[in-house]
Chains A and B, each alone.
Chain A
Amino acid sequence: MNGPGVPNESIGSVGTLTKKDFTTDQEVRWCPGCGDYAILSTVQSFMPELGISPDRTVFVSGIGCSGRFTYYMDTYGVHGIHGRAPAIATGIATANPQLSVWVVTGDGDGLSIGGNHLIHALRRNVNLKILLFNNQIYGLTKGQYSPTSEEGKVTKSTPFGSVDHPFNPIALALGAEASFVARTIDNDRQHLSQVLRQAAAHRGTAFVEIYQNCNVFNDGAFDVLREKPRGTHNQIRLEHGQQIVFDEGTRCVSVGDNGRLVITEVATTPPERIVMHDVHGRPSLAFALAHISRGPSEPTCIGVFREVERPIYGEAMMSQLATATERLGEGSLERLLHSGDTWVIS
């Protein structure tokens, strides 16, 4: 049915894979010091642990600095056009559910020109892992403000400061009914790997926002979270089933008097008021956590916000085919052409 009839089981059983198996011979051409290097290296190192052959893995990207990612992964790959990677990937993942399909996009590619495709992929729950590199700037076009740039941002296209209100990518994904929503940081190899692991294990669309430093056009945008020791104080690490406590156990997310989530000192907060993280519950908690900060300039949640099970788009489509065939019998072109009124001339 798919392609040349390659038995998928045989290519799934792979020997010991290493980072090398996922690395192409192409020269990596991001600016020196770009956060993308760290992400690429982490992804290449992490892929072998999935035990999925690179022959069965597909990376799809759009346009922007993140778009080059595809050329550096020794898997199957499509470097598409601006914003459309989720749509191309939807075609691939739906046509062959046996594939492990990854989308790499950025804040301009995924949230501006391709915003529509992103939300609809999330809504459908296509079996895709979407990595959105958010650097809050247009890098490849040399420094215009993006849909995640903060208000007042001075860039080449906003010399007097941006008057646009930014997207909150996590809140957007939650609003689009995404079944898996997480955030991580480019230079935290361990946290990035852990989030990728959970995303890969998720059945359906996994949306992972990665704060990524653009050291040329928007350097330091995430320093409050990225840099040690400041980051240690400001990262609110979400762990399912754990109370949300951060800053070396001194601060926490708690329920305020009016029911809103607030950041308080652990010492002065009644323990029952400290929020217990639950990725499977109602989206309102995840949504509130997405809004606990106004941006990466203050304490911000990282980790998995939400993870729920929903039918996978491609599987649902395939099961419709199977049901229709069961009910109506396998289609015969001969019969189709003769359906309805016919007459014979002899």
Chain B
Amino acid sequence: MTKRVEERQRVVIRFAGDSGDGMQLTGDRFTNATAVLGNDLATMPDFPAEIRAPAGTVHGISAFQIQFASTEILTPGDHPGVLVAMNPAALRAELRSVEKGGTVIVNEDAFTQRNLEKAGYSSDPLQDGTLDGYQVFKVPMTSITVRAVEELGLSRKEAERSKNMFALGLVSWMFGRPVDVTLDWLHRKFGDKPQVFDANVAAFKAGHSFGETTELFATSYEVGPAPAKPGTYRNVAGAQALAWGLVAASERSGLRLFYASYPITPASELLHELSRLKNYDVLTLQAEDEIAAANVALGASFAGDLGVTGTSGPGMDLKAETLGLAVMLELPMVIVDVQRAGPSTGMPTKTEQSDLLLAMFGRHGESPMPVIAARSPSHCFDAAIEAARLAVTYRTPVILLSDTFLSNSSEPWLIPHVDSLPSIDPDFAMGPNAGREFLPYLRDERLARPWAVPGTPGLRHRIGGLEKEDGTGDISYDPQNHERMTELRSAKVDRIADDIPALDVTDPDGGAQILVLGWGSTYGTIEASAARVREQGRSVATAHLTHLNPFPANLGEVVRSYPKVLVPELNSGQLAMLVRAAFLVDVRSLTKVQGQPIYSEELEEMIVRMMDE
């Protein structure tokens, strides 16, 4: 039979299965084939904290969502148009998010009585009308996979393990993804394990042929490449981009990167990524606890390295005292906080932007430090370089905020030229700075103090957490001095506003009456929602903060120039509180704390509602 090929502008697919079914891998591979095809894309893995929750249960479902398009896109999409459900639990957990009339592909073999019960279904959703209104494809994925790998002599259990590759093959056919990209990857990954390699290839090909030859699927879809600036592209996830940004900062400053960290979801990815880069002169140390990790990094900075520690919310709580010490020592240090849903252990694998006020104020005494936030997976690269630049230039700890969503998500990235990256000057102290004396707290015009590392002849000095005398750095309990030092530490951070770009406002039509102001990972959603509003012929302005402390110098002017300001955040209104406090502007909040990103349609609705008020 002849198959129809339909063209689509954008597609959202969600792969869902047991946490042991390999859905993340499937999604990842589909993403790479999609990237190579030149589509614009955005992805969102969504998995449980349990490594292997009881098989077949709803809370053990691991999902991966990708939106890809022939136009520019900014989010992984609100509602999947295609759901691949490997078992009844996946269907039960994910069906409600699928768009009306969407496509549902199920592994029919998994819909046994026992699995239906485990998923909490009292009747079979494939038969009882649950899926009315959806386009349903029932595919016996497990049995076909087992047959496809029959000759390889694997146990049934081993054979079944390849069913994710069958699903990948099938969906790859449906959307015309290149086959060789996946086969090349399988070769790289399993080339030295012939049996595993053969099984995965057989299952992948079986899935592909199943789409092509069976009558079940009458249509495949084509999504053309998206227009993009010329250059070399790659797909990059936030964690990877952030790690590489730190390496880039190391290279651009000539400082060795010393990364000390304690395992914690979702920040461990950074430790893993950097631990592999030993030939880049990157030292990594897995410390005994979060506190040690921060102190090791600070010690490394004292010794002249670029000391960096990374963690998530609970680890930030533990590092707080050390961050205060870093403020007092005025040494360069970068602290990466990959935010997750809190408080306490909260929902470790779910995203949230709820550490902004912690980053701003979460230390005793007055201990200001610069705070910056990445806005997209690839922007993590630039944000890491910027964090290091500020830390080194101003001799200060800098908090770099990422989050679970950014860390796990990926997008195409125009690879920058290395020599176009900012250069960072460590400007080490090499000699006395006050006649024949060396004063460790004598400041330059930026209020930064000299960085004299042990081993430098003649610059011996002692620093510590006790209050310092201005200039000499000697211990001081003088009341006026403490006030002066408090002001200096604060002024040093505030002056960074002169060294960062003004906030850029996007208002293509001009004359918008409403500004949507964001920070961090809501960037994609904000831009996508604004685009939808503009498509309706209405005007809306958007602006996105990378620097949260200090704010860009023009922020006050910007927020005062719009009659209405809306701040969407994955928290209960933290940036809104800061902006209100700083500028006495009555900003409105759109908040969401469900461990999931804000959907474009939610924000679009809010913008339109505010316009019509």
Contacts and interface: CB of A to CB of B under 8 A. Distances in A.
Interface of A: 1-4, 6, 8, 10-11, 24, 26, 53-60, 63, 70-71, 73-81, 84, 87-92, 94-96, 98-99, 116-117, 120, 317, 320-321, 323-325, 327-331, 333-334, 336-338, 340-346
B181 A341 contact: yes
Given A4-B453, A116-B288, A337-B244, A78 B232 contact: no
A343 B454 contact: no
Given A57-B454, A76-B460, 20 more contacts: A3-B456, A11-B455, A53-B457, A77-B463, A79-B463, A87-B299, A88-B295, A88-B299, A88-B302, A95-B258, A99-B454, A99-B455, A317-B283, A325-B279, A325-B281, A331-B277, A340-B234, A341-B181, A341-B234, A345-B231
B367 to A, nearest CB: 13
A341 B415 contact: no
B228 interface: yes
Contact of A55 (B235, B307, B456): B456
A11 B453 CA distance: 13
A331 B298 contact: no
Interface string B253-283: 0001010100000000000000001111101
B287 interface: yes
B66 interface: no
Contact of B233 (A99, A120, A342): A342
Given A99-B455, A337-B244, A88 B296 contact: yes
Interface string B218-247: 000000010011111111000000001001
A336 B244 contact: yes
A139 B377 CA distance: 51
A55 B460 contact: yes
A316 to B, nearest CB: 11
Interface in B446-484: 453-466, 474-475
A328 B235 CA distance: 23
Contact of B428 (A3, A55, A90, A317): A3
A157 to B, nearest CB: 22
A57 B225 CA distance: 60
B279 A87 contact: no
Contacts of A336: 244, 247, 277, 280
Given A6-B457, A324-B279, A344-B231, A78 B299 contact: yes
A311 to B, nearest CB: 15
25 contacts: A4-B453, A26-B474, A53-B457, A60-B299, A76-B454, A76-B460, A76-B461, A81-B324, A84-B292, A87-B291, A88-B296, A90-B296, A91-B295, A91-B299, A94-B258, A116-B288, A120-B288, A317-B283, A331-B280, A331-B281, A333-B280, A341-B35, A341-B234, A342-B233, A343-B233
Contacts of B494: none
B32 interface: yes
Interface of B: 32, 35-36, 38, 181, 225, 228-235, 244, 247-248, 251, 256, 258, 260, 277-281, 283, 285, 287-289, 291-292, 295-305, 307, 321-322, 324-325, 329, 415-416, 418, 426, 428-430, 453-466, 474-475
B418 A70 contact: no
The 8 closest A-B pairs by CB, nearest first: A91-B299, A79-B464, A3-B304, A331-B280, A3-B453, A324-B278, A87-B295, A77-B462
Given A2-B256, A3-B304, A320-B278, A338 B234 contact: yes
Contact of B465 (A75, A76, A79): A79
A88 B283 contact: no
B77 to A, nearest CB: 22
B248 A333 contact: yes
Contact of B456 (A6, A74, A343): A6
A94 B285 contact: yes
A260 to B, nearest CB: 34
Contacts of A90: 285, 292, 295-296, 299
Nearest to A330: B279
Nearest to B228: A345
Do most interface residues of chain A lie in helix, strand or loop, or is the interface mixed? mixed
Contacts of A2: 256, 303-305, 453, 455
A186 B35 CA distance: 68
Nearest to B243: A336
A84 B295 contact: yes
Contacts of B235: 341
B364 to A, nearest CB: 11
Contact of A328 (B279, B325, B426, B429): B279
**Which one of A70, A341, A344 has the greatest number of beta carbons of chain B within 10 Å?**
A341
Given A3-B456, A324-B278, A91 B260 contact: yes
Q: Which of A10, A76, A87, A336 has the most CB of B within 10 A?
A: A87
B278 A11 contact: no
Contacts of B260: 91
B86 to A, nearest CB: 26
Contact of B460 (A63, A74, A80): A74
A92 B303 contact: yes
B334 to A, nearest CB: 14
Nearest to A334: B418
A90 B456 CA distance: 19
A3 B232 contact: no
A24 B474 CA distance: 11
A78 B455 contact: no
B296 A87 contact: yes
Contacts of B298: 88, 91
A331 B246 CA distance: 14
Contact of B283 (A56, A94, A328): A94
A252 B283 CA distance: 49
Nearest to A12: B455
Nearest to A317: B283
Contact of A331 (B38, B233, B279, B305): B279
B297 A342 contact: no
A70 B454 CA distance: 14
A337 B247 CA distance: 10
Given A24-B462, A333-B247, A87 B292 contact: yes
